[in-house]
Structure 1
Amino acid sequence: MAEELLSNMMDCAAKLKEFTAEDLKACTNGFHQNNLIGATQFGKLYRGQIKLGFIGTDQARAVTVKIWDEKSRCITSIHDEFLMVKEEVQFLTHPSINGHPNLVKLIGYCCEKEVKAVVYDLNPWDTLHNLTVKDYLNWVQRLNVLLQFARLLEFLHNQDKPYLVLNINASHIMLDWDCRPKLFDFGHITGGIIGEMTTLKKQIPISIGFVDPFFTAKGGSFWHTSCDVFSFGVILLGLIAKRGFEPVCVENPHLGLDCLVQYWAKKEYKPNGSLVHRSLQEDWGYVDEDGLAITELGMRCVEFFPRNRPTIKKAVELLEGLLVFQRFGDARPNKREKTFHGIGNHAGGT
């Protein structure tokens, strides 16, 4: 099974570097704690330094190394790591996807018995989860993150065969030093070249606090782009209200619902009211109209019934209409992704 997966992956990874476990240990100083960025649902994320002579330079380059941990309670089969590496390589190297500014850029992988990992060409600032906990993001940065990430979801949803991420959470998004979000977890992704949800994937738990409750109520039989909209809404509300995001794969029977962003928001929200944290209302670029508009958008995204949620396309339009972007267009680091022309990309927009 593993050999077959590796053989198929090699066809997709002809231009990628095949790293050894020793290579990755060396570049991360033995996966030292000082290089640990954070935990993911399926493993860990590390900073590293690699001499990328295979792309024409011997200078050390900052990279990010993501490893799968077979001891993770979210990995249900001995072959899961191989399958996840294979699917990620297929997805990120496909011409319709490769090069999107809000997806990580893959430069190599490792599929040895001891280490299953991928290497990204990225020197990250941190994960969105960590930056939220540390309260490092100002109002405009938060809005930029939300707008760019919504555009990424619009791009994925607008493919000929839409992709569903289905496991969006703040620990699976990194920000670079220009505050651009980079999605890097694809453990539940379906659609496109990946295909339909498999029985194996159905056994893998999705992050508590971000999972669509309508999907949960249906016993996992309902899959739709609205599931991603719900998760996006949770991230939106957490960012504007400075609410901490729950760790991935939480298994705590005593966890109160009010600890989760969407339940807290539904308890606190009043019609025509704002959930923007008071300190963010004092930031440069904040106007009351934007606070009201983005709060309403977040609350619509986390509606229980999918038919009451906006499409991600509508969410992008509403975000682009915020006064901060109309008045200070230079505040956003990149325009709408009309500049990305992947094969099969129909998300260039209206």
Structure 2
Amino acid sequence: MSCFRCTKKSTKESKNNNTNINGNKPNHQEVNSNGNVKKELGVKKEEASKDDQLSLDAKEWNIKEEVSKDGKTNGKRAQTFTFDELAAATGNFRSDCFLGEGGFGKVYKGHLEKINQVVAIKQLDRNGCQGIREFVVEVLTLSLADHLNLVKLIGFCAEGDQRLLVYEYMPLGSLENHLHDLPPSRKALDWNTRMKIAAGAARGLEYLHEKMQPPVIYRDLKCSNILLGEGYHPKLSDFGLAKVGPSGDKTHVSTRVMGTYGYCAPDYAMTGQLTFKSDVYSFGVVLLELITGRKAIDNTKPVKEQNLVAWARPLFRDRKRFSQMVDPLLQGQYPVRGLYQALAIAAMCVQEQPNMRPVITDIVTALNYLASQKYDPQIHPVQSSRRGSSSPIGRRDDDIRQIGGNGPERD
């Protein structure tokens, strides 16, 4: 999926074109006013020891203030590893440890003897479309973060020209790998698992928006950036595009338009004004993918169905057509009322006007409730004739609480 100035049409997708820390490619590009992709600026080399290279990188890009008001990491700064340690962990980056390649560079699975842990190691490609700026933002953001639904950054290497990131290894890969282009050997996600993933991803986003100090706008929420651990426990990953959110009486952050086509909020794409509601729109797209099994952008479909949100909007208005939106791989095994409620949440999230979208806390409340309502096809078979009591269109933020009630806080 191409990255963009969001008003441009996406380029054709390749089968495996998203690689993050477990093999899903993030394509982050800035597009200038002429429509040409800007190349990553070179960073001046400075003589420095490996211990303070990250600080020099941050100073070079003037970005430390973006992540922390006081420039401190509260003692949570990730560990520093030498290049030799990471080379040893991956057998000198041998081919059988290779997981994938993306905009950042190549990704390897490794085992760090020092901490006796299996890890995922991303090695920066200095000629790639991501660079030093994204590297530093990711390190500083995740050094401040501590949540069960955010991937854990174990450490980094900033030695000479080498820039590597070390994460906990997520054995089930990305959500994208479990929703789209499934191999015959992979079983489709059931309804309960989909709602569990949606609720967990929402809690991770809530942490960024409401609990981090300062609050952070993710800016790159998509299926390939939601990684899955044991039991399909979801964690948000890849924070190179994160921005500190508006504070005080400010309503937005003005910034270059960055993101992935199909997930970016139209208001942000047109104005460059980034808000917390920009992330809410992206979350709505992910929730639609979970419900429908469709990709955010799919150029293999008829023109009117290529953009998931554009395809879904007219269907939101007709409750009789809701069943047409369900992923066929569910084989009818889903709760009709739960479907209506999930579609209600998704419809509100992808409203064109940002002030019509709910805040993430209300989304968490609603999805926690949905995730707690376990569906058993043996006990509760689907009855296609059942009707929901309301349409997703026209609900407000406070109505989400009525949908959600008080659900569980954790998986």
Give the TM-score range, shorter chain.
Answer: 0.7 to 0.9
TM-score, length-scaled by structure 2: 0.64
Question: For each residue in 1:131-152, what CA deviation from the matched residue of structure 2 results, as whole angstroms up to 9, or x when unmatched?
Answer: 2222642211111010011111
Residue number in structure 2 paired with 1:234: 285
Unaligned runs of 5+ in 1: 54-58, 329-333, 340-350
Deviation at 1:46, TM superposition (A): 2.8
Residue number in structure 2 paired with 1:301: 349
- Does residue 172 of the first structure (1) align with residue 221 of the second (2)? no
Report runs of 4+ in structure 1 exceeding 6 Å deviation.
8-11, 196-199
Q: Contact 2:53–2:159 at 8 Å: present in 1 too? A: no
Partner letter of residue 305 of structure 1?
Answer: Q
Residue number in structure 1 paired with 2:361: 313
Partner letter of residue 43 of structure 1?
Answer: G
Q: 1:198 to 1:304 in 2, by over 3 A?
A: closer
Percent identity between the two aligned chains: 28
Distance in 2 of aligned mates of 1:137 and 1:37: 22
Residue number in structure 1 paired with 2:135: 85
Distance in 1 of aligned mates of 2:110 and 2:314: 43
Question: For each residue in 1:243-289, what CA deviation from the matched residue of structure 2 results, as whole angstroms up to 9, or x when unmatched?
Answer: 13559xxxx9xx95732322232254443242222332533xx2100
Aligned pair partner of 2:409 in 324, 328, 336: 336
Residue number in structure 1 paired with 2:392: none
Aligned pair partner of 2:305 in 250, 253, 258: 258
Distance in 2 of aligned mates of 1:191 and 1:244: 29
Q: Contact 1:129–1:170 at 8 Å: present in 2 too? A: yes
Q: Contact 2:98–2:109 at 8 Å: present in 1 too? A: yes
Distance in 2 of aligned mates of 1:19 and 1:26: 11
Residue number in structure 1 paired with 2:123: 67
Q: Contact 2:179–2:293 at 8 Å: present in 1 too? A: yes
Question: For each residue in 1:198-236, what CA deviation from the matched residue of structure 2 results, as whole angstroms up to 9, or x when unmatched?
Answer: 99xx45731111111111111x1x111110100101111
Distance in 2 of aligned mates of 1:316 and 1:125: 23
Q: 1:282 to 1:258 in 2, by over 3 A?
A: closer
Larger Rg: 2
Distance in 2 of aligned mates of 1:257 and 1:45: 36
Distance in 1 of aligned mates of 2:304 and 2:217: 26
- Does residue 291 of the first structure (1) align with residue 364 of the second (2)? no
Q: 1:212 to 1:36 in 2, by over 3 A?
A: farther
Distance in 2 of aligned mates of 1:162 and 1:176: 25
Distance in 1 of aligned mates of 2:309 and 2:350: 7
> Mapping of 1:14-53 within 5 angstroms?
16-53=78-115
Distance in 2 of aligned mates of 1:277 and 1:91: 35
Distance in 1 of aligned mates of 2:113 and 2:352: 49
Deviation at 1:181, TM superposition (A): 1.2
Secondary structure at 2:217 match in 1 = coil
| Paired positions, count | 306
Distance in 2 of aligned mates of 1:261 and 1:42: 27
Q: Contact 1:132–1:242 at 8 Å: present in 2 too? A: yes
Distance in 2 of aligned mates of 1:259 and 1:126: 25
Distance in 2 of aligned mates of 1:44 and 1:263: 34
Distance in 2 of aligned mates of 1:204 and 1:32: 36
Aligned pair partner of 1:139 in 183, 191, 200: 191
Q: Contact 2:149–2:235 at 8 Å: present in 1 too? A: yes
Q: 1:237 to 1:17 in 2, by over 3 A?
A: same
Aligned pair partner of 1:111 in 135, 142, 158: 158
Residue number in structure 1 paired with 2:269: 216
Secondary structure at 1:103 match in 2 = coil
TM-score, length-scaled by structure 1: 0.75
Distance in 2 of aligned mates of 1:148 and 1:240: 15
Distance in 2 of aligned mates of 1:72 and 1:153: 27
Q: 1:205 to 1:16 in 2, by over 3 A?
A: closer
Distance in 2 of aligned mates of 1:14 and 1:226: 28
Distance in 2 of aligned mates of 1:268 and 1:46: 42
